[in-house]
């Protein structure tokens, strides 16, 4: 007697498949309606009107009523009391001691901010970056100097390939490739590993979830990047404050928009609003320095102006240093910048206030003519672009060769050093003499340099804070600089960076869990789509196998059906490959911004997806199980459901693993297909292992989860089962046997044919013969253990791959 015996004969189990089939629709419907309500607010209105009509209430909702209600609710939750409380909390001694938030000296007349910017002075000295290429060392940056003060907007300007992005990555301490050298000073002191936490890097292309609202995006970042001890109300107040400051106060409930995995395009924020949202997310934690990577790219000229206008006001009012790489700014945008660093071929051509640019080049023989050259920034770009023909009548006197670039750079450097009181020879300029080391992140010297003579290059007076002239390495510090060169630029200490993360592991887990749930429940192709697909494919298969009889004639159909179920679970996850590859992109972007630890993200992702995966695989199993009428006992139903669910989880996890390790989606498909082929070929069904002539090949069965699951399901369905064969073989069956074995005289005997067709009421077939035929001897529990182990290994591999891929992502 098998542990799965019920004693009752098997037949269609209506009480199983009917409720499951309808509950699956209710479940999918709930998520579809919920997502539609958010994506399409008119849908909510229409739904309400429908309910009112149905319940006899004629009065339709007034237009705009919904918005008003929501606005009132939001106003209630974020009223001025909350804002005031949050501000007070920000100023409490405890909060002040705990986080980087300090009182600003500026804006004394203005309303106090929930999180104020810690104003710093920044200076960089001799930044260089060299790549080793097939043709030798390639210096993409060499001896770049500069400085920036609080409230200042600095443009990184230069022709394509001049080194703007490289310089910005080095300044932001986000560069991890190439041989790096140089010094970063914060308030005259060497920058340490915590500097990265005082900066925000707004990438050129954002990576928002298209189906999240503006407010949800900001909530997510507030949960992750604001100090761990901030209260919920203070976080909410900060989100509100930043959204208002960036002119997004009206767009709380607007979707970010974009294309979801699967290809559905959703309308949302405009390009300019999206960029402002990127900046808003960046400045949420009140960073001292905001790096903007080509903030105006892809925006029309008015949107670009608006974005930069907001940024300018933020910098001026709050005291952020803003450093933006920029291509051909229009004159209104150019005039917003206080200072500029002009690069060409990796060399510094000028750094200082924008108004000093024309004057400097005039002194070395390159005159600016407003009538001929137009906007100063355009002229500067044309002036330093080398390697192309620039007719004098259009461009005037310009720099045309790399040698000229080097000469002008040396002239500027001499001037810069002169103004700062440093002798060039003391700095051992040129070549790789300052040393470098491959693969490091820029770090800086250990000790504070003495302040040099105040710079007499004109400095910005942005925000009315006057000129200060940043600290610069004096002669006594040169040994320190050389020491760095010898030691080489070591990587920023990862452990230190992790320690410095503002949020706890639990906070990271919670907020990524919320985001993952939003991603999967709002995408119609995900939870709802998968549940419905499972229900309907199961129903279609169930119709094919409907009500298999409880006798030996159904044996073949049952054996086929078990394999079909497993084949479905092998193939179904393919429809979600785009979700896995999109998830990888979010992860990589977040990991490069050091938002959270991989373990918090991974566990959140598993927690968010697992319940839905369980639901959809059980829907499939129970619908087909009930329709076909497999072994009718609660233990058998659950035992089969457990195995099919594990099969489904393993397949999903393998697809996920392939998406993580593959460089592209196409390659991910190739890896997955290799795995699926092993599953389908090595499961003992189409060809038993006994029949394979190349025996060594059958060892691939150890990789086949389908083989294990098939064995387990066969044990559940056929173990110890006795089927009646009183009905005998049908005439077609007898005919088939005769054709198969034409020379067997025995089959020709009338008595034998009668015996096969009508064996008599006492005929009983032992279904365990199926297990013998396939050489299935493992117990159910052993199979279960193997399947669980297989699943855990796929998780371990995926997690390891994610950590490795995250580390490899270097720039």
Contact residues: ligand ATP, CB under 6 A: 131, 133, 138, 140, 158, 160-166, 177
**Shortest distance, position 160 Cβ to ligand ATP, whole Å:** 4
Asked if residue 6 lies in contact with residue 636, where contact means CB atoms within 8 angstroms, the answer is yes
Smallest gap from Cβ 198 to ligand ATP, in A, equals 23
C-alpha neighbours within 13 Å on the C-beta side of residue 425: 0
CB of 135 to ligand ATP, least distance (A): 10
Residue 339 backbone phi and psi in degrees, to 5: -130, 165
Pairing state of beta strands 258-259 and 339-344? Answer: unpaired
Nearer to ligand ATP, 169 or 477 (CB): 169
Q: Which is nearer to ligand ATP, 162 or 385 (CB)?
A: 162
Task: Please say which residue, 139 or 776, places its beta carbon nearer to ligand ATP.
Answer: 139
Please provide the DSSP assignment of 659-722 as one string.
Answer: HHHSSSHHHHHHHHHHHHHHHHHSSSSSS-GGG-SSGGGGGGGGG-HHHHHHHHHHHHHHTT-E
Phi then psi for 344, rounded to 5 degrees? -150, 130
If DSSP codes are grouped into helix, strand and coil, which group holds residue 406?
Answer: helix
Q: Among 515, 533, 522, 626, which Cα is nearest to 573's?
A: 533
CA distance 672 to 657: 9
CB-nearer residue toward ligand ATP: 161 or 188: 161
Task: Please identify, using beta-carbon distances, which residue of 163 and 223 lies nearer to ligand ATP.
Answer: 163
**φ, ψ at 259 (rounded to 5°):** -100, 125
Write a three-state SS string for 259-310: ECCCCCEECCCCHHHHHHHHHHHHHCCCCCEEEEECCCCCCCHHHHHHHHHH
Q: How far is the CB of 124 from ligand ATP (least distance, A)?
A: 15
Q: Least CB distance from residue 203 to ligand ATP, whole Å?
A: 12
Closest CB to ligand ATP among residues 279, 384: 384
Q: Which is nearer to ligand ATP, 133 or 693 (CB)?
A: 133
Kindly state the smallest distance separating residue 630's Cβ from ligand ATP, in Å.
59
d(CA 397, CA 382): 10
Q: In terms of CB distance, is 375 or 614 closer to ligand ATP?
A: 375
C-alpha 198/C-alpha 189 separation (Å) is 15
Contact criterion met (CB below 8 Å) for 130 and 178: yes
776 within 8 A of 714, measured Cβ to Cβ = yes
Which residues make beta-bridge pairs with 180? 129, 437
Nearer to ligand ATP, 134 or 371 (CB): 134
In sequence order, what DSSP letters do the residues of 202-253 get, joined into one string? Answer: E-SS----TTSBHHHHHHHHHHHHS-TT--HHHHHHHHHHHHHHTT-GGGTT
Residue 161 vs 227, nearer CB to ligand ATP: 161
Contacts of 628 (CB under 8 A, 6+ apart): 12, 542, 545, 546, 547, 548, 558, 561
Rg (the chain; Cα; Å): 35
What is the enclosing helix (H) or strand (E) of 616?
helix 598-628
Nearer to ligand ATP, 151 or 163 (CB): 163
Tokens of 58: 């004629």
C-beta of residue 359 within 8 angstroms of C-beta of residue 456: no
Beta carbons of 700 and 683 less than 8 angstroms apart: no
What are the residues facing 137 on neighbouring strands? 132
CB nearer to ligand ATP: pick between 218 and 384: 384
CB of 402 to ligand ATP, least distance (A): 12
Rounded to whole angstroms, how far apart are CA atoms 754 and 137?
A: 90
> Closest CB to ligand ATP among 164 and 238?
164
Least CB distance to ligand ATP at residue 154 (A):
15
Structure-block tokens of residue 731? 């005439």
- DSSP assignment of 471-506 equals ----GGGHHHHHHHHHH--PPP-HHHHHHT-SS-HH
CB of 166 to ligand ATP, least distance (A): 3
According to the 3-state scheme, what is the secondary structure of 623-665?
Answer: HHHHHHCCCCCHHHHHHHHHHHHHHHHHHHHHHHHHHHHCCCH
- Euclidean distance between CA atoms 606 and 604, whole angstroms: 5
Distance between CA 537 and CA 360 in Å, rounded?
A: 74
Q: Kindly tell me which of 345 and 457 has the beta carbon lying closer to ligand ATP.
A: 345
CB contact at 8 A, 414 and 427 = no
Q: Considering beta carbons, is residue 90 or 162 the nearer one to ligand ATP? A: 162
Least distance CB 172 / ligand ATP (angstroms): 13
Smaller CB distance to ligand ATP: residue 57 or 810?
810
Q: Which is nearer to ligand ATP, 180 or 246 (CB)?
A: 180
Least Å distance between CB 138 and ligand ATP? 5
Contact indicator for 683, 566 with CB cutoff of 8 Å: yes
For ligand ATP, give the closer residue by CB, 251 or 405: 405
CB environment 84-121: b (16+ within 10 A), e (fewer): eebbebbeeeebeeebbbeebebbeeeeebbbbbbbbb
- Least distance from C-beta 277 to ligand ATP, angstroms? 23
Least spacing, CB of residue 409 vs ligand ATP, in Å: 15
Which one-letter DSSP state was computed for residue 62?
Answer: P
Helix (H) or strand (E) holding 761: none
């Amino acid at each position: 007697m098998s542990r799965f015996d019920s004693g009752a004969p098997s037949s269609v189990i209506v009480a199983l498949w009917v409720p499951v089939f309808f509950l699956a629709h209710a479940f999918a419907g709930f998520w579809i309606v919920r997502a539609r309500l958010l994506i399409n607010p008119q849908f909510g209105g229409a739904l309400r009107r429908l309910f009112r009509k149905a319940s006899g209430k004629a009065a339709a909702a007034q237009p705009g009523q919904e918005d008003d209600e929501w606005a009132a609710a939001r106003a209630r939750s974020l009223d001025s009391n909350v804002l005031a409380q949050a501000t007070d909390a920000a100023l409490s001694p405890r909060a002040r001691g705990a986080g980087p938030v300090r009182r600003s000296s500026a804006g004394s007349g203005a309303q106090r901010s929930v999180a104020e910017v810690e104003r710093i002075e920044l200076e960089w000295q001799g930044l260089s970056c060299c790549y080793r290429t097939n043709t030798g060392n390639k210096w993409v940056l060499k001896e770049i100097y500069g400085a920036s003060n609080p409230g200042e907007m600095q443009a990184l300007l230069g022709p394509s390939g001049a080194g703007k992005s490289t310089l910005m990555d080095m300044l932001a301490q986000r560069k991890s490739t190439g041989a790096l050298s140089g010094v970063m000073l914060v308030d005259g002191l060497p920058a340490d590993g915590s500097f990265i936490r005082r900066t925000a890097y707004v990438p050129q292309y954002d990576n928002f979830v298209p189906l999240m609202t503006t407010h949800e995006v900001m909530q997510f970042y507030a949960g992750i990047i604001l100090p761990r001890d901030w209260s919920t109300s203070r976080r909410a107040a900060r989100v509100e404050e930043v959204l208002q400051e960036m002119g997004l106060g009206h767009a709380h409930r607007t979707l970010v928009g974009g294309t979801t995995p699967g290809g559905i395009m959703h309308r949302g924020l405009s390009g300019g609003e999206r960029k402002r949202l990127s900046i808003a997310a960046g400045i949420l934690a009140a960073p001292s320095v905001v790096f903007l990577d080509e903030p105006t790219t892809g925006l029309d000229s008015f949107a670009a102006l608006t974005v930069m206008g907001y940024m300018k006001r933020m910098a001026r009012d709050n005291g952020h240093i803003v450093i933006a790489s920029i291509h051909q700014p229009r004159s209104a945008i150019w005039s917003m910048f206080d200072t500029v660093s002009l690069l060409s071929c990796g060399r510094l051509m000028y750094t200082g206030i924008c108004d000093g640019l024309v004057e400097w080049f005039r002194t070395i023989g390159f005159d600016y003519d407003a009538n001929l050259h137009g906007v100063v920034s355009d002229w500067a770009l044309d002036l330093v672009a080398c390697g192309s023909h620039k007719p004098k009548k259009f461009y005037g006197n310009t720099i045309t060769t790399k040698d000229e670039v080097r000469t002008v750079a040396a002239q500027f450097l001499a001037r810069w050093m002169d103004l700062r009181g440093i002798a060039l020879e003391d700095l051992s300029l040129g070549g790789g003499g300052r040393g470098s080391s491959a693969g490091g992140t820029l770090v800086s010297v250990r000790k504070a340099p003495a302040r040099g003579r105040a710079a007499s290059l004109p400095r910005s007076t942005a925000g009315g804070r006057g000129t200060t002239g940043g600290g610069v390495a004096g002669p006594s510090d040169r040994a320190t600089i050389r020491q760095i060169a010898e030691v080489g630029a070591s990587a920023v200490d990862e452990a230190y960076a992790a320690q410095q993360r503002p949020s706890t592991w639990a906070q990271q887990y919670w907020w990524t869990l919320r985001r993952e749930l939003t991603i999967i429940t709002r995408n119609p192709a995900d939870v709802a789509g998968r549940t419905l697909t499972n229900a309907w494919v199961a129903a279609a298969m169930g119709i094919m196998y409907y009500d298999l009889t409880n006798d030996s004639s159904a044996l073949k159909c049952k054996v086929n059906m078990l394999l079909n179920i497993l084949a479905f679970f092998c193939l179904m996850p393919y429809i979600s490959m785009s979700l896995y590859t999109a998830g990888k992109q979010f992860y990589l972007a977040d990991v490069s911004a050091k938002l959270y630890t991989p373990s918090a993200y991974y566990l959140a992702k598993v927690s968010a997806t697992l319940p839905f995966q369980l639901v959809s695989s059980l829907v499939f199993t129970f619908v087909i199980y009930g329709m076909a009428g497999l072994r009718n006992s609660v233990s058998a139903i659950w035992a089969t459901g457990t195995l099919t669910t594990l099969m489904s989880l393993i397949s999903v996890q393998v697809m996920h693993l392939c998406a993580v390790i593959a460089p592209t989606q196409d390659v991910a498909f190739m890896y997955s297909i290799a795995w699926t082929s092993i599953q389908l070929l090595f499961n003992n069904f189409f060809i038993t292992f006994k029949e394979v002539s190349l025996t060594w090949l059958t060892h691939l069965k150890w990789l086949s989860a389908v083989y294990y699951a098939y064995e387990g399901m066969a044990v559940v369905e056929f173990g110890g089962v006795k089927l009646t064969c009183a009905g005998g073989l049908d005439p077609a069956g007898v005919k088939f046997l005769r054709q198969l074995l034409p020379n067997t005289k025995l089959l020709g005997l009338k008595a034998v044919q009668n015996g096969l067709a009508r064996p008599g009421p006492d005929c009983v077939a032992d279904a365990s013969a199926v297990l013998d035929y396939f050489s299935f001897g493992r117990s159910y529990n052993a199979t279960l253990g193997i399947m669980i182990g297989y699943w855990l290994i796929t998780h371990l591999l995926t997690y390891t791959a994610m950590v490795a891929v995250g580390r490899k992502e270097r720039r």
